[in-house]
Structure 1
């Protein structure tokens, strides 16, 4: 079965699909990474927020979130289901996200907070470390930014 990429605001996502997306995020960020924090933080329903996800049939394989902030756009909550890792699915989502953002808002910076060990992976899509390292829920992170005119991998 083919992998399909999707993008929509929460209000437009079918309830069972939204449940699968949020269940996977909690499974990865809260359970697997042992970071007890409010994964469902209210930002998914902010004006302009969208979720992107990759599916194979009803199975949600990977997801990320786009947030429109006053001076930039932010990518976050990038997660891949354990059984789907190593297939390049999250990379496909990132390429689709930055391509969409480049077309939607040329010149607007795109920000993300990467787990430090994943900074080289995000570098493949034109992101560079843009500030001092910090810990979030006990996990080392680095802020990263990308000009919307950057080339992506």
Structure 2
């Protein structure tokens, strides 16, 4: 996986199939990273979880990587990836690369989508470009953080 030897157990579930413990772990990690770590108070639960595929990456049973995956027409005109998270304690160990690789693979192979949109935090632009995403908007502020939309055509 792009030069990293990452061992991770991947699971993809629709919202209705998540266990209460899985949902708790997801919400806990999202709040830990997006609200507390990034000091960004915002409405984390946005009504889209029920329409998403949830990609959970566990290392030794602990949720360390997560993203939401959407079919086209749900969160954007294209298929999209959102809430891309790697737990702070395991960053720079290849989990981000593994997460994005698995997110793209799932959308391409299981949802049959080749064009994917992501609302990226600007500081991660080069990371996403390394996966073939290209900017399609100027930088804009969302919840106090600079973002830009990026698209990948597979």
Q: TM-score band, normalised by the shorter chain?
A: 0.7 to 0.9
Output the aligned Cα RMSD: 1.3
Residue 108 of structure 2: aligned partner: 102
Q: Which of 77, 82, 87 matches 2:88? A: 82
Q: Write the mapping of 1:17-36 to structure 2, written as runs, cut at 5 A.
A: 17-36=22-41
Query: Is the Cα contact below 8 Å between 2:31 and 2:44 reproduced in 1?
Result: yes
1:21 is displaced (CA, Å) by: 1.3
Is the alpha carbon distance of 1:139 and 1:87 closer, same or farther for their aligned partners in structure 2, counting shifts above 3 Å? same
TM-score computed with the length of structure 2 as normaliser: 0.87
Structure 1: 4+ residue segments shifted above 4 A? none
1:58 is displaced (CA, Å) by: 2.6
Gaps of 5+ in 2: 1-6
1:106 is displaced (CA, Å) by: 4.4
Q: How many residue pairs are counted as aligned between the two chains? A: 144
Q: Secondary structure at the match of 1:86?
A: coil
1:99 is displaced (CA, Å) by: 1.6
TM-score computed with the length of structure 1 as normaliser: 0.88
